[in-house]
Structure 1
Amino acid sequence: MFVLFLLYCYLSRAVYCVIGHCDPDENHPEIADKIDDYLWLKLRQVQTDNDDQHNQDNFTLKKLQCLLYEDFGENYFSGYQQPFLYFQVLILTAQFEAAIEFISRIDKLLCHAVHVALVLYESNMLLLPQTNQAQLLTTDSSDDGCMRRLNFARLITLYTRKFESTDAREALQYFYFLRDLKTAQGENFFMSCVSELVLDTREFEMLLGKIERDGTKRPGAIDKFHGDTHKIIDLVAKDTEAKGLFEDAVRLYDLAKKHDKVLELLNKLLSQVVSQASSTQSSRDRLRSLAFGIAERYRAQGAEGNLSNASTFFLLLDLLTFFDCFHDGNMDEALTVIKQLQLLPLAENAVETKVMAFRHYNDEVRRCLPDILLATMNILHSQYKNAKTTTSQSPYSGWTGRGEDGGKETYLNYIRGQAKALIMFAGMLPYRLPGDTNARLVQIEVLMN
């Protein structure tokens, strides 16, 4: 009977404390010997801000949160031995951010932390830091009590880092939840993560899509997440360009329909390889295939771009053909191409006009000029040697001159005149040629005199 009397007393006192919201420091261990009972009693004693809000002795939710998180803490609850118990304590006292951060530190529970965070974030129940550069769990000077802020973006990227290189599509699913957040630079966090993912995995076509030969776009994985995919692709293209991956940037700008940027980058790339001999799987061969494919599509479907960039682009394509003929030994065909381009003077009376016209060419074309001059001079020398050694006149097909000797000597003089025009042109250019270019041009010309 005495035991029952004591139990009745303990229960009566507990009920009184619950109803009267008093004695919050009393834990009632006689009846609240389990964490569920303890939390129920404490939560029932919590007073809202409207209950005599000027009384400093009120037992508020903030005080309960501080008691459990700071005074007791994870060591008291044997957090790492009983992670779900401590997680339950924090969740039931509305400390969602601290609860998520705690189980995220346990590797096998990280996925659970992420998925709980996703639900709470989508329900607008998470406090986030002012910047996404913050630590995973932080406090803010403007917050009261034991309020914590969870860096949701950092949590997601921490989790996806485990599998993004092997399962980019899955990582993309998680990144989509970051679409309303901003990076420190003010960029959309989802777009920034997509850009980083594409650059790390190099899964350009799978993630972003591809432009087919007929101009239609094959959808990528991002197309189902975002209506305006061009903005994402444009951002990835800029990041790719900034990292020096210019060929990839060309394809991405093409995908984003930034035609002028495509031409600008291709011009820079082509000018570096245009004079090289073609070889299988070389960068020149790869760029040639890319450039001709784009040119064919832009001609057929039209392209929005700067007229100067477009004219330079198509001129560089013609110069690719010229050097292909030159390196293959098709000298007559190469000379036909260079004459049709009207880039160089092949007569002394055209030198001044061509020098004036040269001022209007872009740097990409000017950069190729030394190699064009030397190749053309070598072609003339080849034509000269062939004409010199043959017993019959065998003039270049574009020449229509005649002479008293049947045309041979006149034809040789015609070639010398073309070579002299190139020497004059090189000397009058308002552009500094490499030191040995003029010397080599003169040496070749001397061989024809």
Structure 2
Amino acid sequence: MTEYSPPLRDGELTTNQSTKDNIRILNELIDASKDIPTNTSGLGHIQLSINEIKKRAQQLRSSDGSKSDLTKAHYLLAGGGLRVSDINSSVKILQSSNILEQTVLENNDGELDTYLKLKKDENVLSSIEYLLMEASNDFHSFLASNIKFKLSSQKYDIYENFGINVNEKDKIKEVIPTLEQPIWGSSGNNILQNKGHSKLNVNENFLIREKFERYAKIIHRFNNARQANEPFSLDEEIISMITTSNDSKNRQIFESWKIISTVKGSDDIVRSGKNYLEKQFLDYVNTLYSRNLSEGLPTNTNKIKSFIDIKLKNNNTNTWKFPNMTIVNGVPIWALIFYLLRAGLKEEALEVATNNKACFKKVEGSFLKYIRAYVSSDNHKLPDHYASQLHNEYNQYIKCSLDGDPYRLAVYKVIGRCDLTRKNISTITLNIEDWLWIHFMLIKDNISDNEPIYEKYSLEDFQNIILSYGTKNLNNFYFQSLLLSGLYESAIEYMYTISEIDAVHLALGLVNHGLLKTHQPSNKVSDDNIISNSSKSVFSFSKILGNYIHSFKYSDPRIAAEYLILLALDDTANPISVCHEAIIELILDSREFTILLGKINRDGTRIPGILEERKPLLYLRDKENFLHSITEPAARRADEGGRIHDSLLLYQLSEEYDIVVESVNKLLSDMLSNTGLNKPLVTENSNPNTNPILLAQRLLSMYSDNLEISKKVHYKNKETCILLLRLADARKLFLFRQWQNCLSHVEEMDLLPFGDALSARTKAQEFLNLDNNIIKNIPVLLIMVMKCISALIEKIDNSDYQSSAKKQQIVALKNIARNCIVYAGIIQYRMPREVYSTLIKIESSL
């Protein structure tokens, strides 16, 4: 049966013919490939620049045979699935992206310049990379050396807490171990991790360090006074500090603290703002008057007259700057009333109005009753019927008067809150403080829904104006404007960009006055920001304080603790818990356990640290409450973080002596079970603070000497520790090849079956009741005993003199070995598999 073959199409070869042609082509390619230079030919590689390749490509395209060449290329690239049109489009894309140069260098000089330019850029980048690498290496070297020094300065305090005496020579010879990086904080809430990206370094230079220390001393005295329930004005102390400072930039900070000192509560922002601005103005008037003493008694009214003469008179011509002012006996009466009100001298303003009643025009006839009602009211607001009358007069006569006294308009506007659509008074010159005061005078505290929109002007409206004006319009008084208008959160945020150290203490001053809370709703403030980006700012005192403390928590842990205590200024539950959490973070981060928590002497007496002395400020009643809330959680956190030695010390400081012994037992058990029998457990260079055997010996000695401490250690834990230490002694005898002594030592421990055949089953039953730290070392103990027996039998067999006593000794040793094997067989599933195999191998060789 013939095989079916499909018909041939034009240009298609039969299978046989195609195969022959393919073989022939392949042979030709193989022969031609022998002429291609290889890596070992010594000819190197052909390297052309992009411009050179492009130029040669253009030459090929412009040649006479370009068409045929293109056709050949088309067939050549067809096997790889490429088309010439696709290549051209790709080249155009590269050109448009400036990856290929748009012009071709026409001569070798151009290509050389390009090459040199690229080489120069490459060299510059290499140099920069090298410098960055060197800087990084220097930084890491500096960091490593400083961390080692830090640990060196602390570890001997740790020794003392465990009752370890260290010679001065040892301090010099000791090799510092590598310090592991701590990973502290609960659920990512560590406020000391500098998530706010603070750049402050209190040790950067002398001036910053000096300011830092001066602030710190005030905070220390502040906490002392709080603890002793004694009066202490934080505002006045810091104002005094700023006043004595030589820093000329402190004027703004000084004014800010003066503002804070006048604020008595968050509900009186408008009143406090007015009072501050009025007092500030009167102080300024007094200063001017002292420089330009005039005739007459130095009354407040005369001082204001003197101020008006200085500010509103042209010195050269002795004329008034505003020609339309009403002058009575050489005094502009409306200007006098306005500035008396501006200085908060309302009674004096009423007196001037009363004494000059006859001088008022007809349209001003009712003014006296208005100002009398204004001054006599509790909140300095006109009654509704008077306010309505004054508004009518203002709209009909005062506002539209072309030749009226500009200060008369200002007085009417301030007293009656007139024309709120135009809050500014453009006809008289006002500075920023005057502008703020007028707005405070126009604000209405209680606005009813029935009032027309043009009569409504609230504090929130004013705050929005302040924020919209910003520093561009309010210049250097922007921060004070924020404080005066009650925008405390925005004020701290703004000051934070100018001076972080001052922003922190200004925030503290506001918290102390109850104007800011020490905590924030967790769903409004992110971890990285001290102020939220919402329309209503939400302040995080813990974040700003944490960022500040981050810069000195290692260098000055005492000061850091004093600041963290301030988190509990707001005595509600949340700030207190945040404070306690931050204190724990500081303990674990700084590792200054002795300074912060105190120490326990060798005789068991306890010396408290600075945190325990501040118990009342942490809202902790007594020592037990402090240990339960601060020290013990810190120890537990250290234990969870794998910092075993830190947790041991912290548990001891928290007087959890039973946990200390339990933890030491675990360390001791791990060391005994993981150290080979041929290696010593204690050497001359062993660290008494980290070597479990030395540590256990010290603790047992300390706890045994103190009956009170001894009662707090569970008997089973103490017994386990003693057994593990005896096992360590047996290991030492084994290492020194004292086989018989080692066996005797193990027999006294009463853990293995050294008796008759039934002892193996008895000990196997007791095995289940052993402490886990002992169980972990039974396999090593069995191997050690079996090797001792093997060594003793070998020694007896190799002795020259043989007797029945020696044979009996060998029999007794083999009985012990047999009992151990039976014992091991019963508990073998509680041991590593290879241990039982090793025991069988040793037993078979006996």
TM (norm. structure 2) is 0.47
Flag the 1:373–1:187 CA change in 2: closer, same or farther, 3 A.
farther
Equivalent in 132, 136, 148 of residue 537 of structure 2:
148
What is the aligned-residue identity percentage?
26
* Match of residue 552 from structure 2: 163
Letter in 1 for 2:785: T
Flag the 1:334–1:245 CA change in 2: closer, same or farther, 3 A.
same
Aligned counterparts, 1:77-92, within 5 A: 77-78=474-475, 82=476, 85-92=477-484
* Match of residue 265 from structure 1: 663
Displacement of 1:101 in angstroms is 1.6
Displacement of 1:406 in angstroms is 4.5
Flag the 1:46–1:436 CA change in 2: closer, same or farther, 3 A.
same
Aligned length: 423
* Match of residue 505 from structure 2: 115
Displacement of 1:444 in angstroms is 1.8
Unaligned runs of 5+ in 1: 141-145, 394-404
* Match of residue 397 from structure 1: none
Flag the 1:220–1:264 CA change in 2: closer, same or farther, 3 A.
same
Q: Say whether 1:58 aligns with 2:453.
A: no
Letter in 2 for 1:342: D
Residue 764 of structure 2: SS of its match in structure 1?
helix
Aligned equivalents of 1:181 and 1:265: distance in 2?
38
Displacement of 1:323 in angstroms is 1.8
Equivalent in 720, 723, 729 of residue 315 of structure 1:
723
Counterpart contact for 1:183–1:189, Cα < 8 Å: no
Counterpart contact for 1:191–1:235, Cα < 8 Å: no
Aligned equivalents of 1:418 and 1:266: distance in 2?
32
Flag the 1:33–1:289 CA change in 2: closer, same or farther, 3 A.
same
Displacement of 1:361 in angstroms is 1.1
Residue 418 of structure 1: SS of its match in structure 2?
helix
Q: Say whether 1:415 aligns with 2:819.
A: no
Equivalent in 238, 254, 259 of residue 636 of structure 2:
238
Aligned counterparts, 1:19-418, within 5 A: 19-24=415-420, 25-49=422-446, 52=448, 54-55=450-451, 56=453, 57-69=455-467, 71-78=468-475, 82=476, 85-106=477-498, 109-127=499-517, 128-131=519-522, 134=526, 135-138=529-532, 148-179=537-568, 188-226=577-615, 227-228=622-623, 229-230=626-627, 231-275=629-673, 276=675, 277-278=680-681, 279=683, 280-281=685-686, 286-300=691-705, 301=707, 302-347=710-755, 348-391=757-800, 405-418=803-816
RMSD (Å), alpha carbons: 2.8
Displacement of 1:264 in angstroms is 2.8
Displacement of 1:139 in angstroms is 7.5
- Greater Rg by CA: 2
Letter in 1 for 2:644: F
Aligned equivalents of 1:54 and 1:269: distance in 2?
78
Residue 419 of structure 2: SS of its match in structure 1?
coil
* Match of residue 401 from structure 1: none
Aligned equivalents of 1:309 and 1:74: distance in 2?
68
Q: Deviations over 1:321-358 (max 9, x none)?
A: 22233223333332222111100012323111100100
Aligned equivalents of 1:297 and 1:432: distance in 2?
35
Flag the 1:330–1:282 CA change in 2: closer, same or farther, 3 A.
farther
Letter in 2 for 1:167: D
Aligned equivalents of 1:58 and 1:34: distance in 2?
25
Residue 150 of structure 1: SS of its match in structure 2?
coil
Aligned equivalents of 2:690 and 2:439: distance in 1?
75
TM (norm. structure 1) is 0.86
Flag the 1:160–1:7 CA change in 2: closer, same or farther, 3 A.
farther
Displacement of 1:245 in angstroms is 0.6
Displacement of 1:378 in angstroms is 1.4
Aligned equivalents of 1:29 and 1:186: distance in 2?
48
Displacement of 1:31 in angstroms is 2.8
Unaligned runs of 5+ in 2: 1-318, 327-404, 616-621
Q: Deviations over 1:104-139 (max 9, x none)?
A: 122xx1111111111221221214522395442238
Letter in 1 for 2:492: I
Aligned equivalents of 1:354 and 1:182: distance in 2?
60
Flag the 1:65–1:284 CA change in 2: closer, same or farther, 3 A.
closer
Letter in 1 for 2:515: M
Displacement of 1:32 in angstroms is 4.5
Counterpart contact for 1:181–1:189, Cα < 8 Å: no
Aligned equivalents of 2:425 and 2:740: distance in 1?
105
Aligned equivalents of 1:118 and 1:421: distance in 2?
74
Bigger RCO of structures 1 and 2 (CA < 8 A, at least 6 apart):
2
Letter in 2 for 1:104: Y
Counterpart contact for 2:603–2:702, Cα < 8 Å: yes
Counterpart contact for 2:512–2:569, Cα < 8 Å: no
* Match of residue 400 from structure 1: none
Q: Say whether 1:10 aligns with 2:406.
A: yes
Aligned equivalents of 2:729 and 2:718: distance in 1?
17
The 10-residue stretch of structure 1 (24-33 or 352-361) with the greater mean CA deviation from structure 2: 24-33
Counterpart contact for 1:182–1:188, Cα < 8 Å: no
* Match of residue 439 from structure 1: 837
Counterpart contact for 1:344–1:422, Cα < 8 Å: yes
Displacement of 1:206 in angstroms is 2.3
Aligned equivalents of 1:187 and 1:421: distance in 2?
62
Aligned equivalents of 1:65 and 1:2: distance in 2?
36
Residue 210 of structure 1: SS of its match in structure 2?
strand
Residue 770 of structure 2: SS of its match in structure 1?
coil
Counterpart contact for 2:783–2:839, Cα < 8 Å: yes
Counterpart contact for 1:126–1:150, Cα < 8 Å: yes
Letter in 1 for 2:493: E
Aligned equivalents of 1:283 and 1:424: distance in 2?
39
Counterpart contact for 1:129–1:138, Cα < 8 Å: no
Aligned equivalents of 1:435 and 1:208: distance in 2?
47
Displacement of 1:185 in angstroms is 9.6
The 10-residue stretch of structure 1 (117-126 or 306-315) with the greater mean CA deviation from structure 2: 306-315
Q: Deviations over 1:257-286 (max 9, x none)?
A: 123322332222221102433233369962
Displacement of 1:446 in angstroms is 2.5
Aligned equivalents of 1:39 and 1:185: distance in 2?
37
Letter in 2 for 1:194: I
Displacement of 1:194 in angstroms is 2.1
Counterpart contact for 1:126–1:149, Cα < 8 Å: no
Residue 599 of structure 2: SS of its match in structure 1?
strand
Aligned equivalents of 2:449 and 2:567: distance in 1?
38
Letter in 2 for 1:46: I
Equivalent in 412, 429, 433 of residue 827 of structure 2:
429
Letter in 1 for 2:729: T
